[in-house]
Amino acid sequence: GKSVLAENIARCCARNGLKVRFQSYEMNSTDLTDRGAAAQFGIDYGHLRTAVMNREEWDRYNDYVNLSASWSFLIDTEMVGVERLAARCRAMKRKQGLDLLVVDHLHIMPRPNKNNEVQELGDISRRLKNLAVELNIPVVLVAQLNRGSAKALDKRPNMADIRGSGSIEQDANIIIMPHRESYYDNQINPHLAELIIAKNRDGEMGSVVCGWKGQFARFEDEPDLNWAPPQKESRWSDGYAV
């Protein structure tokens, strides 16, 4: 859910009049528009991906396209390195203003040479931190977890699970880790999500319980609690249920 959360934050800010730049290294602008429409107007994301929608869904999609056209929400999908990204952000700040930069995601940003991943990721992290200070804007940097964390008994992520975590941990003011226990256990409410505040330089750490609607690609303020786990099928033996 990390990219969904980043898109939700960016779209919410743009919808409220802020000037947002979304640098995507993983999804194209059409996919991001589809996600935004699904989240904003409750359109099934699976229907959008297959373009199999009913008339009402098409109307809502067109409403989203018309609505978002008035926002200052720039989606850039070019595979640029951190230096060119910083230059583009400075130019945007100077010419039209810039209130938020979202980068999705750190681990697939182009790097000069891929000999020392930890060192190079740390360099990108520090450069983006310096850019945030220089332009006086928040930078939301999406990062990947080590896959080994999914094999642990406790599935809740922590900062040590961040791939190449040393400099990222140090540079970040706030680290938010989305977590859905139902991803690992289908007996748990799939609409229940958690945003773990693993680091907060200027405030408290802890956890925020929220809702998750995967079919609409969005997090919500409150979880939908009207859910019951699937019934396990009975096995019959000699006429008796076991």
The catalytic residues are 26
Would you say 236 and 242 are in contact if contact means Cβ atoms under 8 Å apart?
yes
**Long-range Cβ contacts of 127-134 (<8 Å, 24+ apart):** 127/82, 127/83, 127/86, 128/82, 128/86, 128/101, 128/103, 128/171, 129/171, 129/172, 131/86, 131/89, 131/101, 132/101, 134/90
Q: Which of 5, 9, 129 is nearest to 73 (CA)?
A: 9
What is the distance of C-alpha 175 from the center of its chain?
Answer: 13
146: which DSSP letter? P
Which residue, among 14, 15, 32, has the nearest Cα to 23 in the 3D structure? 32
In angstroms, the Cα distances linking 226 to 144, 189, 229, 242 are 32, 9, 10, 28
Question: Which pair of structure tokens corresponds to residue 88?
Answer: 């583009």
Q: Which residue has the tokens 């919410």?
A: 12
Closest CA to 105 of 72, 129, 78, 140: 140
The two tokens of residue 192 are 């229940």
